[in-house]
Amino acid sequence: MKPLLEVRDVTMRFGGLLAVSDLSFEVTPGHAHGIIGPNGAGKTTAFNIITGIYAPTAGDVLFRGESLAGQRPSNIARRGIARTFQNIRLFRDLTVLDNVRIASDAHARYALPGAMVQLPAARRAEQETITRCLDLLEKFGLGDAAYERAGDLSYGSQRRLEIARAMALQPALLLLDEPAAGMNSAETLKLVEFLGWLRDHFSVTMLLIEHHMQLVMTFCDRITVLDFGKTIAEGTAAEVRSNPKVIEAYLGPEDGHE
């Protein structure tokens, strides 16, 4: 099958710091692809490059076979790559509904003058967006909170809302940056279930960064291991687990890091 996302020899330098070096991997449609690696390995930086927040120093990213070079983040998002952030970045002062609506608006097609004089088309589009978003929130168990301020939600609900917001973009590829951060093992177990549901229900391909070994090993079809910006291993959970380099760099000092 043709890969959905191809990262080709991507390098990112911040001044003298080599954050990502010659990173290459492919994500197959329908798969969940994991990226693991110690702190500062360059995982988030890779996400920022894929989503267009940083322009890589060298290399290219292809989505559905087309290069994303020079594309602005909003365009990349509209093309079908949605993401969450390592430290939650919700629109805190807005309602839960508005958070989701902003992402959903990427698919609304009415012009500014039409909006300002309330043409019927604009009104209809607005009404449709609201219905669609309330529906989506319902699916994520946030239906009752739709009119609450996003910043007032509990931490767990905020994480869920961030994923719901990303899904409102109707993406083909969902990037999750440490979705299990700050969760205990019971919650993590539930998260695995939730991610499985997400994948099946929306048939979305996933690329996820995680420190929770258990989650990555059980959930991901393929795993890329980074260390100091370099890819040190790639393969299935079993392959990665038995790779001596990985054991040395990542699992080595203390089995089951974190």
Ligand X SMILES: Nc1ncnc2c1ncn2[C@@H]1O[C@H](COP(=O)(O)OP(=O)(O)OP(=O)(O)O)[C@@H](O)[C@H]1O
> Which residue, 137 or 233, has its beta carbon nearer to ligand X?
233
Rg (CA), the chain: 19
Q: Is there binding between residue 171 and ligand X (CB under 6 A)?
A: no
What gap in Å lies between CA 126 and CA 122, rounded to an integer? 6
Are the C-beta atoms of residues 233 and 42 closer than 8 Å to each other? Answer: no
Are the C-beta atoms of residues 162 and 88 closer than 8 Å to each other? Answer: yes
> Which residue, 113 or 253, has its beta carbon nearer to other proteins?
113
Output b/e per residue, 39-64; b: 16+ Cβ within 10 A.
Answer: eebbbbbbbbbbbbebebeebebbbe
Question: For residue 127, how many C-alpha atoms fall within 13 Å in the half-sphere facing its CB?
Answer: 7
Site string for ligand X, 77-116 (x = CB under 6 A): ---------x------------------------------
Site string for ligand X, 37-76 (x = CB under 6 A): x-xxxxxxx-------------------------------
Residue whose C-alpha is closest to residue 206's, from 245, 249, 176: 176
Interface with ligand X: number of residues (CB under 6 A): 12
Share of the chain residues as helix, strand and coil, in percent rounded to the nearest 5: 45, 25, 35
Q: Is there binding between residue 44 and Mg ion (CB under 5 A)?
A: yes
Binding site for other proteins (CB under 8 A): 44, 48, 51-53, 72-74, 77-78, 82-83, 85, 89-95, 98, 101-103, 105-106, 108, 110, 112, 115-118, 122-123, 125-127, 129-130, 146-147, 149, 165-166, 168-169
Binding site for ligand X (CB under 6 A): 14, 17, 19, 37, 39-45, 86
Binding site for Mg ion (CB under 5 A): 44, 86
